[in-house]
Amino acid sequence: MDAFILYTIKSSLCLSAGYFLYRLLLRHETFHRFKRFVILAILFISMAVPLVKLQVDATAASVPAQKQGPVFFTAENAIFAGQDNHKTAVQPETGSSINILALVYLAGASIQVFLVLFSMARTILIIRRSKKINFHGVPLALTTSSMAPCCFGRLIIISEKDFREHGKEVVLHETSHMKQFHGLDLFISEMCLVVTWYNPVTWLIRHELRQNHEFEADSHVLSQGIDASDYQLLLVRTVAGESRFNLANQFNQSSIKNRISMMNRGKSNRLAILKGLLFIPLIALMVQVFAQKVVRQAYAPPRAVTHGKYLELTADQLNSLGFDWNQNGLFYKNRRVNRPDKNILCMYFTDSMYSASIILGPGEKLNNTLPQRILKNQATTSFDFYPVVVAGVNGLYTLVMGNPGKNPGEKLLPVQVNMADLKVRKRSDTLVFWFRPTATMMEILSPVVKAEDFLQPCPPDIRETRKAPNSHI
């Protein structure tokens, strides 16, 4: 709930900034349709900006993000890391002040909803009790109540007295509201008022929108040949009518003085519309300040593991080494195999095959079993490195693709892959791929890790050439 309240606060601040710029630049101009568009744009943009997600680099975030990349863990430091995380975990506080704030906000929003529904019910009741007639194709509801003329949906509500004395002018005015869908604007403003009822600017901008509607309708009436002096006198005479409904456009609702003043004002210079361009930098500023900042993470967060010291890479980094996977298994396919008689190495690890490898010679093809069919469609890498040994973390089920112990003191690069993390079906084990490091491999890993720090001799039990069950070379 507090996240939603924060959203409404941000929206209120955006609305306030847009409204004050509107008052400064456009309020007294006479191009009412453009002003209506600007007011509605302010409402929509103010509600949308706090929902925008703006990606930023970790260095640009307000709280520096810790660089995440390949991780080096031992069983010992993994245990201590877990203890530290437990100690420093911060539990969210649910104080009474936050609960009270949420209750106050919900109470205010509920009251606003109730007022809208109540005024709607009153208006519907008046319509039901009114006499329905058709005046030059316009549906009217004639009421005996003393109320200001208004339109509700596609129906004009008018007192019998006003209809007898000034029916033509009133109907022209209200018809203008209907044709321009001003009722929809009022509905939008009422919904914004429900969300940010505590912001005085929301009430001001609703009043501004209603007043602009009246300016538009007045302009339309005068354009139909109605005498301006007679029409202005009519506005003054009907000022005593009762306001009934928040979502209805009422004939004398806004300030009569402002409406008469606007009718007597000369038309604004059309170049004044260019003032609207000044809203563009304001919108950009609002997005920069109030949009949700999403830190662009270059690497996945580290995972604490409890077996030996191995290099653990993120999914993207594994892919850069030539690995591919889906729920059916983990796959590796490399064209540059260091054997004179063969040219493609294929490896796969599925739910039914712990480990398997195929080395294809020139012209040889894969068959149509499921893992080999996936390998057939997989892009072939052309790296000068490939795993010479694949083993479990305990050294068992070893698949040997070369002779890792042929050079005394030779060090390999162990890369750990958790099959459960890759969401391979029925696999929760962890494999270690022992690579013979090459300059190409070190270059691929250099932006994120100093691979030399992870080199180590292949353990003796893994050096022994043993085939895994259900595997073949």
In angstroms, the CA 141 to CA 135 distance is: 10
Instruction: Tell me, yes or no, whether 247 and 350 share the same domain.
Output: no
Please answer whether residues 337 and 386 qualify as being in contact, where contact means their C-beta atoms are separated by less than 8 angstroms.
Answer: yes
What's residue 167's pLDDT? 79
Q: pLDDT at position 250, please? A: 53
Q: How many helices (H) and strands (E) does the chain have?
A: 14, 18
Q: Which of 56, 60, 53 is nearest to 291 (CA)?
A: 53
Cα separation, 401 vs 388, whole angstroms: 5
> 341 and 451: one domain?
yes
Start-to-end CA distance of the chain, whole Å, equals 59
Count Cβ atoms below 10 Å from residue 76 Cβ, excluding itself: 10
Inter-residue contact 202 to 196 (CB < 8 Å):
yes
Model pLDDT for residues 271-290, shown as the tens digit of each residue: 888 888 999 999 999 999 99
State whether 199 and 227 are in the same domain: yes
- Per-residue pLDDT at 312: 86
Q: 170 and 206: one domain?
A: yes
3-state secondary structure of 454: helix
The rounded distance, in Å, linking the Cα atoms of 407 and 353 is 31
Q: How many domains does the chain have?
A: 2
> pLDDT below 50 — which residues of the chain?
60-95, 241-245, 252-254, 298-307, 463-473
Element (H, E) at 114: helix 96-129
**Contact predicate 437/404, CB 8 Å:** no
409: left (phi over 0), alpha (psi -120 to 50) or beta: left
Q: Which residue type occupies 361?
A: G
Residue 114: the pLDDT is 93
Q: Give the range of the structural domain holding residue 163, as residue numbers without chain letter.
A: 2-66+97-290
Is 345 strand, coil or helix?
Answer: strand
Structural domain includes residue 91: no
Cβ pair 323, 417 in contact under 8 A? yes
Task: Identify whether residues 324 and 286 lie together within a single domain.
Answer: no
In a domain, 472, yes or no: no
pLDDT of amino acid 271 = 84
pLDDT on residue 294: 72
CA 243, 248, 252, 255 torsion-angle sign: positive
Contact 56, 293 (CB under 8 A): yes
